[in-house]
Amino acid sequence: MKDHPVKALLPTLPTLPGSYIFKDKDGIVLYVGKAKNLRKRVSSYFQNYKDLTARLQLMIDQAVTVETYTVESEVEALILEASLIKKYKPKYNVLLKDDKSYAWIKITKDPYPIIYRTRNTKDKNAIYFGPFPNAQVRDQVLNFLRKEFPYRTCSYQITDEDNKKRAERRKNGEIVRSRLCTFYHIGRCGGPCEGLISQQEYLENINAIKKFLQNKKKTLVHELTQKMKSYAHNLEFEKAAKVKQQIDELTYVSQKLMIGYGDDEDDVMRLMYQRIMKGLEFLIKDLKVGQYRLLYKNAPKLFGKSLDEIKQLRSEYLDKFRIECFDISNISGTNPVGSMVVFEGGIPKKSHYRKFKINVKNTPDDFAMMREMLLRRFTYLKPKNKLFNLDEHNAQILNKLGITNDSLKTNSNISELKSQEDESFSSTPDLIIVDGGKGQLSVAVDVLHSLKLDHLFVCALAKKHEEIFVPGQKTSHTYDDHKDTLFLLQRIRDEAHRFGLTYHRDRRSKAMFS
């Protein structure tokens, strides 16, 4: 297993939730799985190869590549896995291919339809929604739906004629046994067995549930909004308030379960682009980054767009927005390295990634190491014909690296030479992120000032509380309420950490070998 082609891909895999697909040399899907942490899960196939079943060992032996699709939560990963297995029917996936082993929602075709939890889909007098990767996910969805749109689970044969007869018998003084159960009393059923809800009202609830499960939530919300307006127009404010609550709950759940049932890779990519664009939009507005702060004033709405439309919008609005993120990796100062990762339009641009072997310091001093890396990177953006404005720290580091004001006055201008040979160093970032807190931010600000690059926008991202620190602002920016922005920042920071850590391990291994 030492030279397996997939092992070389492991360091590049994300650490986020999602689904993964193993493929053979012909591009045929062999196996689909899900994970809370994609890199750890895929790595486990090689770390524990001897403990795998014969079926999975055979699958790994045939695999030559792995593709991953990141989502926001484990629930989304579960649902995406089910969709991909149903789509590709991989030969090494035992479950879900025949749709028998996973959970379904069953809705009968009775005059007053019944909703069941089931694992059997053979009843032709019913429609089914799913499959759900496990019963817990299905039950969470049903519990929400029953709260908002009460339905029955009993097996009584209900007809309007039967309800009328029962009502007539009560009117005549006969004792008629009530069929109402606990669910009626706690508001989870409208009581159709006793005629306490009309067939029309009951079917409205069932149709709302079907639309939700068919991923027609937008249509459902629109219909409920019209219903709410009608109630309000007729001064039925209590009913209008109840419908308003349904709309709010549907909107919340739709955000929590962004991956719809039956979706595949295109849907995941579409949602990822939407998150990236929304995340960048808020980040740019919040940090007021240069000319981009007004970029989205009239930007079109993203949701409801196709994957091609989303890609076009991203290209139109964001492709040129360049973020560079810097991180330091070392163990007690030994084998220190720096990493620079580049994102353009919210997508990694790996051809512009750069590694830095830290030369000036080999003792634990993250600030000095960050200073060296930033000086080496941004020296090559120094404005032409302008001298450095160096303090003692920066001058010492550049002198040790052989870079002085005099060397930049010569015909072999370092800035021009580097620009000719390395597009990454000649490109100007719109946003610079340094991994760390206020200390790292101060170093970055000082370096840019020394190089006459004060116009560049820089901030620091602290791991502990996922805070952004900006020069001149005492309070940090947090994005707990803006999940798309937090998602984007974490991806960028994790990528910088991954890239630097991979280089650090290489250096450490070579040092141990020598």
The CATH number covering residue 449 comes to 3.30.420.340
389 and 482: one domain? yes
Comparing 359 with 228, which gets the higher pLDDT?
228
- Pick from 402, 381, 401: nearest CA to 450: 381
Model pLDDT, residue 22: 96
For residue 1, being part of any structural domain is answered with no
pLDDT grade for 389, boundaries at 50, 70 and 90: low
289 and 309: one domain? yes
Model pLDDT, residue 256: 45
112 burial level (CB within 10 Å; 0-12, 13-18, 19+): buried
Given a cut of 90, whether residue 179 has pLDDT beyond it is no
Region 15-35: mean pLDDT is: 91
For residue 416, being part of any structural domain is answered with yes
Region 190-207: mean pLDDT is: 89
361 and 479: one domain? yes
302 and 344: one domain? no
Given a cut of 90, whether residue 9 has pLDDT beyond it is no
For residue 236, being part of any structural domain is answered with no
Given a cut of 50, whether residue 419 has pLDDT beyond it is no
Given a cut of 90, whether residue 18 has pLDDT beyond it is no
Domain that holds residue 299: 265-317
> Residues near 446 by Cβ (< 8 Å), separated by ≥ 6?
371, 391, 393, 394
> Tens of pLDDT along 109-162?
999 999 999 888 888 889 988 767 667 767 877 887 888 889 999 988 888 888
Given a cut of 70, whether residue 354 has pLDDT beyond it is yes
Model pLDDT, residue 106: 93
Model pLDDT, residue 390: 66
298 and 384: one domain? no
Model pLDDT, residue 388: 61
Model pLDDT, residue 511: 67
Model pLDDT, residue 298: 41
For residue 225, being part of any structural domain is answered with no
Region 478-492: mean pLDDT is: 81
360 and 485: one domain? yes
Number of H helices, E strands in the chain: 18, 14
For residue 364, being part of any structural domain is answered with yes
- Average pLDDT for the chain: 79
372 and 285: one domain? no
Given a cut of 70, whether residue 82 has pLDDT beyond it is yes
Q: Which residue has the tokens 């600000």?
A: 445
Task: Please say which residue of 279, 295, 317 terminates a domain.
Answer: 317
43 and 127: one domain? no
For residue 28, being part of any structural domain is answered with yes
347 and 495: one domain? yes
CATH number at residue 57: 3.40.1440.10
Model-level pTM greater than 0.85? no
308 and 397: one domain? no
Comparing 326 with 310, which gets the higher pLDDT?
326
**Crossing angle of helices 438-450 and 366-378, rounded to 10°:** 30
Model pLDDT, residue 291: 55
What is the tally of structural domains in the chain? Answer: 4
Task: Please say which residue of 175, 191, 214 terminates a domain.
Answer: 214
Please calculate the CA angle 370-374-380 and round it to the nearest 5 degrees.
165
For residue 359, being part of any structural domain is answered with yes
**CA dihedral (52, 58, 63, 68) positive or negative:** negative
Region 362-366: mean pLDDT is: 71
383 and 490: one domain? yes
Task: Please say which residue of 214, 235, 250 terminates a domain.
Answer: 214
Given a cut of 70, whether residue 252 has pLDDT beyond it is no
390 and 481: one domain? yes
For residue 446, being part of any structural domain is answered with yes
